[in-house]
Amino acid sequence: MSTIDGHGLVKAFGRTRAVDGLDLTTSTGVTGLLGPNGAGKTTLLRMLATVTSYDAGSLRVLGHDPQDAAARLAIRRRLGYLPQEAGFHRGFTAFEAVDYIAVLKEHDERRARHAEVRRVLELVGLSDVATTKVGALSGGMRRRLGLAQALLGDPDLLILDEPTVGLDPQQRIRFRDLVAEAGSGRTVLLSTHQTEDVATVCSDVIVIDGGRRVFGGTIDELVDLARDRVWLDDRRDPRALAAWRLGDGSYHHVGDPPDGAQLAPAGIEDAYLVLIGPTAAASDVA
Amino acid sequence: MTASTWHLDDALAQRYAGGGLSPATAASVEQHLMACPDCRGLVGGRAVAAEPDRFAGIWSEIVEEVHAPRRGPVERTLRAVGVGESTSRILATTPTLRGAWLSAIVLVLVLALYVAHASPRGALLFVSLAPVLPLLGVIATFGPQGDPSHEMAAAAPYSRLRLLTARTAFVLASTMLPALAVSQFLPGDRWFAVAWLLPGLALTTATLAAAHWVPVHRAAIGLLALWLALGAGRWVGEGPGRRVTTAATTVDHVVQVVQVASVVVIALAALTIARHRHQLPRDLRRNE
């Protein structure tokens, strides 16, 4: 059974349709959500995390419709959610901040709750700063704190909105390890601007643009979209969809290659550009 | 002390670890264990093997005792007045419990008290300002800056209505108790000291009732503006040139009208809240 099953989802803010007739299904494993800024990623994830409602379409999360109050509660009990802006009360210590969320997640028995808080802090490598005030933690540490609270209670569904923002390379590797592990036996849906994150931890990818899904499939299927559409040249070709200069002085091109072009192996980034078009090169994925 | 001439064998260690020895034998074994590290190791191994769950439990208790976080002053106070452990953790995030907020409240109250003594109609100013304090608390608590974890709280199963009610009760307590203390020093009629209580409650309950249609903090801002406009209108309407005696009777009259109006508002607000109690307030169904 799929963990998330959505059809024709719509969410409008005034006249803007942030999510505009979107279909998606995910099951066990790690699914990456890619898309330019303003594509509707955060709105979609908030919808799936039961934080915001949808205006039209149908949605089942862990078998329940989040629009129904009782069903929403059932989803929340099995959900771990890292929002894009995961803030914490600055006067709390790292331990207290996660403990506060643990209370909201109905971990009522004090001793068991504290043990669970210690477990998730250990998982994200923050045990040493458990007694440090949130206000004194670095940005990357606060991001990990957000991840720690999402892992409370070993949820069946993990929704992570840009979990790797603000992490340094070492932390990112540790994070990927964590997510890959979390992805065995449960569903993880994460949005990211890092195509590397997708390549290393995700089994499936969903690409959205303008509130619609423009791709859904495996990594290989995504990369296939750019097969024979990547080439190298000594000079920039203006007809290319996107082109950038490499370290060795040559230019990496994505688009329709001219005859006799020196084709190069495609990556996730190239496929993403093929899907989203030239605007993507000017925005954020790189 | 002489070295032991005997040691525990497997069977004895097993029975001791399982608690199956007579008190006299157990005491003698314990005496020996004090002096013999080898036998201690033997018994230790047996004991953990015999009851792993019990030992894991004891270990977690030790960890809990050693690492249990020290509670802040707010949480300790809440615990002392009988608030539950998890509820006090939740209430500790309420902005009106922070030192800066409480100092600001006390400062405003003391200034208003000074004006009440210095000006003939100053008491009316105090009575008009004090009911506003809980509203300011509601705005601070439920505004965008109120709870930095609101997005995570929104996806958690904890009852939103319970959270709202507990926090509002706390805002009321943390603003009205200082106001009540300061108002005892007001000049004039004794009942003036409590005249602001009903309007204060009326404004707060009206905010909660209005929260079914607009976000809580916006409802509070609206009612705050309405209350201040009414007060200012009344002030200007009376005119500055009147004699003090006339003003004093007017003040009494105004305050009485406000009391009656407050009771009506509280009743209506309570009815609205009771009617909608199974639905979530507007901003807890947050759509933005």
Per-residue pLDDT tens digits for A185-200: 899 999 988 888 888 8
pLDDT at residue B218 greater than cutoff 90: no
* Nearest-angstrom CA–CA distance, B50 and B10: 13
pLDDT at residue B89 greater than cutoff 90: no
Q: Dihedrals φ, ψ of A170, to 5°?
A: -65, -45
Asked if A103 and B286 come within 8 Å (Cβ–Cβ), the reply is no
| Mean pLDDT calculated for residue range B22-51 | 83
Task: Give the pairing of strands A251-254 and A242-245.
Answer: antiparallel
Within 10 Å of residue A122's Cβ, how many Cβ atoms? Answer: 13
Q: Dihedrals φ, ψ of A231, to 5°?
A: -145, 165
Asked if B155 and A51 come within 8 Å (Cβ–Cβ), the reply is yes
Question: Which residue has 């006799």 as its token pair?
Answer: A260
**Using 50, 70 and 90 to split pLDDT, how confident is the model at A100?**
very high
Please report the residues numbered 92 through 131 in chain A whose beta carbons come closer than 8 angstroms to any beta carbon of chain B. 92-93, 95-97, 99-101, 103-106, 108, 110-111, 113-115, 118, 130-131
Asked if A81 and B157 come within 8 Å (Cβ–Cβ), the reply is no
Token pair listed for B265: 């508002």
Q: How far is CA A110 from CA B87, B88, B275, in A?
A: 12, 12, 35
pLDDT at residue A279 greater than cutoff 70: no
* Nearest-angstrom CA–CA distance, B167 and B95: 10
Shortest Cα distance, chain A CAs vs residue B212, angstroms: 16
pLDDT at residue A208 greater than cutoff 80: yes
Asked if A101 and B153 come within 8 Å (Cβ–Cβ), the reply is yes
* Nearest-angstrom CA–CA distance, B135 and B112: 17
DSSP conformation letters of A101-150: HHHHTT--SHHHHHHHHHHHHHHTT-GGGTTSBGGGS-HHHHHHHHHHHH
* Nearest-angstrom CA–CA distance, A51 and A42: 11
Domain boundaries, chain A: 1-78+156-217, 85-154, 223-281
ipTM greater than 0.95, yes or no? no
Chain B CB contacts of A113 under 8 Å are 86
Question: Which residue has 């008491």 as its token pair?
Answer: B123
Query: Residue A158's pLDDT is what?
Result: 95
| pTM (2 d.p.) | 0.78
% of chain A exceeding 90 in pLDDT: 53
* Nearest-angstrom CA–CA distance, A214 and A217: 10
Chain A CB contacts of B285 under 8 Å are 53
Amino acid, single-letter form, for residue B129: L
Within 10 Å of residue A216's Cβ, how many Cβ atoms? Answer: 17
* Nearest-angstrom CA–CA distance, A9 and A26: 15
DSSP conformation letters of chain B: -PPPS----HHHHHHHHTT-S-HHHHHHHHHHHHH-HHHHHHHHHHHHHH-HHHHHHHHHHHHHHHHPPPPPHHHHHHHHTT--HHHHHHHTT-GGGSHHHHHHHHHHHHHHHHHHHHSTTHHHHHHHHTTHHHHHHHHHHHSTTT-TTHHHHHTS-S-HHHHHHHHHHHHHHHHHHHHHHHHTT-SS-TTHHHHTHHHHHHHHHHHHHHTTTS-HHHHHHHHHHHHHHHHHHHHHHH-TTS-HHHHHHHHHHHHHHHHHHHHHHHHHHHHHHHHTTTSPPGGGG---
DSSP conformation class of A68? S
CA dihedral B36, B41, B43, B47 (to 10 degrees): 150
Chain A CB contacts of B84 under 8 Å are none
Greater confidence (B239 vs B237) lies with B237
pLDDT at residue A284 greater than cutoff 60: no
Asked if A91 and B98 come within 8 Å (Cβ–Cβ), the reply is yes
**Using 50, 70 and 90 to split pLDDT, how confident is the model at A105?**
very high
Residue A103 is nearest to which of B86, B147, B286, comparing CB atoms?
B86
Asked if A130 and B67 come within 8 Å (Cβ–Cβ), the reply is yes
Question: pLDDT tens across B92-127, in order?
Answer: 877 766 677 778 888 888 888 888 888 777 777 787
Asked if A96 and B60 come within 8 Å (Cβ–Cβ), the reply is no
pLDDT at residue B242 greater than cutoff 50: no
Shortest Cα distance, chain B CAs vs residue A32, angstroms: 21
Query: Residue A151's pLDDT is what?
Result: 94
**Using 50, 70 and 90 to split pLDDT, how confident is the model at B245?**
very low
Task: Give the pairing of strands A187-191 and A157-161.
Answer: parallel
Query: Residue B288's pLDDT is what?
Result: 33
Query: Residue B97's pLDDT is what?
Result: 66
Least confident of A64-73, A126-135, B37-46: B37-46
Question: pLDDT tens across A112-143, in order?
Answer: 899 999 999 999 889 999 999 999 999 889 99
Query: Residue B278's pLDDT is what?
Result: 66
**Using 50, 70 and 90 to split pLDDT, how confident is the model at B267?**
very high
Amino acid, single-letter form, for residue B144: P
Query: Residue B3's pLDDT is what?
Result: 54
| CA B159 to centroid of chain Cα atoms | 16
| Mean pLDDT calculated for residue range B250-272 | 84
Q: How far is CA A117 from CA A24, A95, A234, B5, B154, in A?
A: 33, 7, 55, 49, 19
Question: Which residue has 């208003």 as its token pair?
Answer: B112
Q: Dihedrals φ, ψ of B19, to 5°?
A: 80, 25
Shortest Cα distance, chain B CAs vs residue A261, angstroms: 49
**CATH code, residues A1-78+156-217:** 3.40.50.300
Using the CB atoms, write b or e for B64-101: b if 16+ within 10 Å. eeeeebebbebbeebeeeebeebbbbbbbbbbbbbeeb
pLDDT at residue A286 greater than cutoff 60: no
**Using 50, 70 and 90 to split pLDDT, how confident is the model at A60?**
very high
- Do the Cβ atoms of A20 and A33 come closer than 8 Å? no
Chain B CB contacts of A118 under 8 Å are 63, 67
Token pair listed for A103: 């209370």
Residue B60 is nearest to which of A83, A108, A111, comparing CB atoms?
A111
Task: Give the pairing of strands A251-254 and A230-233.
Answer: antiparallel
Using the Cβ of B63 and the Cβ atoms of chain A, whether some distance falls under 8 Å is answered with yes
Q: Dihedrals φ, ψ of B148, to 5°?
A: -65, -15
Q: How far is CA A20 from CA A13, A47, A237, A273, B201, in A?
A: 11, 13, 35, 21, 44
Question: pLDDT tens across A33-55, in order?
Answer: 999 888 899 999 999 999 988 99
Question: Order of strands, edge to edge, in the sheet holding A4-13?
Answer: A16-26, A4-13, A56-61
Q: Find all residues with CB under 8 Å of B272, minimum gap 6, and list them.
A: B209, B212
* Nearest-angstrom CA–CA distance, B171 and B140: 9
| Mean pLDDT calculated for residue range A98-115 | 91
Chain B CB contacts of A69 under 8 Å are 280
Q: How far is CA A68 from CA A31, A73, B287, in A?
A: 25, 9, 15
Chain A CB contacts of B79 under 8 Å are none
Question: Which residue has 């994150």 as its token pair?
Answer: A197
Asked if A104 and B152 come within 8 Å (Cβ–Cβ), the reply is yes
